[in-house]
Structure 1
Amino acid sequence: GLVLAFVRRKEGYDRSFFVTLVLLPLIIAIIILLVSNNIARAFSLAGVFTLVRFRTTISDTRDITFVFSTVAIGLAMGMGYITYAIIITAFIMGVLLLISFLKLDEVKDNNAKLKIIIPESLNYIGAFDDVFKMYTTYARLRKVKTTDFGTTFELTYIINMRNDVNQKLFLDAIRVINGNLNIILTQEFAERVIE
């Protein structure tokens, strides 16, 4: 999980997703060890996951990790493995503290979310490539949405700004292409990728 989290981290990511990628494989392995070859436990676990899936709104990827952690701890407690439950809890807390202490989930880059409104007549494929090459180290189109009854498109990019970039010049270069329509550059990208 840790290796995958570091590979994913290079592309621009949601920091809670990093924690999920690190912990989820460990938690799933613990649950599988607890269930082992017992069919009754497996069906009970399926029922629990079904209940959690349809009764819980997951807005943050870390939430599902904590739900699975709680299920693993509850499963160990319910089976009478109190020592295992304590060990599982301590292990998960240790991993979370290590991630926090080493600041592995922090983004050190200039990641941002960029929303650009363009007229419907503009072909958006490759339209901003030259600007992105000049001002960013990474740019990826994540979402295209029609707005104003189909007369405009809203493009959402995930970008990584170069360290020496003048944001005003960057936005001005985009405004020349998009006809001076709305542009939103959000720096809080590290917390949430796309709403």
Structure 2
Amino acid sequence: MREFIVENLTNTEALSVTVILMNNVIALIVAFFIMFTYKISYAGPAYSRKFNISIGSITIITAMIMSIISNNIALSLGMVGALSIIRFRTAVKDVRDATYIFWAIAAGIGCGVSQYALIVIGSAFLLLFLIITRKGFTSCNKLLVVQGKPDCLHKTEAAVDTFFSGKAHVSMRNVTEGSFELVYSIGEGILYKAAKENQMDISEKLIKIDGVKRVNIVDQKDELSQ
């Protein structure tokens, strides 16, 4: 038993050049695949090419680390200790970016231990999942922002309620002595349907009300609410 433990702790059997090349080639291909997926599925306001390149680099670096560790338990424990003292303080702007970081690490680990089939199949399913969720579950709401004098507040609220048949939800209602501001959250489909039924945009109708100074319609993305 003692000899078995010592043998596994000090196993320094080197990988063949063929295996090393194969691991790195597959890691490179998967890295570009992850980078491509990040680019086509990103829905934020500021796509970062540098971050995308970093994701690909993580895949290759992780594969390299796994090839170095191989089956040597002592070396793997030493690597864990070395990495545990590293502190990463760079903030992730989009919470979805963490998904790609973990994907890159998992792909690198798989390539480093020659689990090519697992990485290819898993990456394909993850690509499908990210594309479906991007197109099917992203927020498409609009924000209707109305500003004006307090005298026309109730008239403005009634006009919005009538225009959208009660389907516009008030997100913010701010009234001061000399002005008011209303913010409505409206589905994109509801907005276009109401405009078609009324044969005019809501902004055209509200701006005609005496006392309304400004009407804005802006996109409501997930990034705005975080």
Normalised to the residue count of structure 1, the TM-score between the two structures is 0.47
**Greater share of helix residues, 1 or 2?**
2
Higher Rg: 2
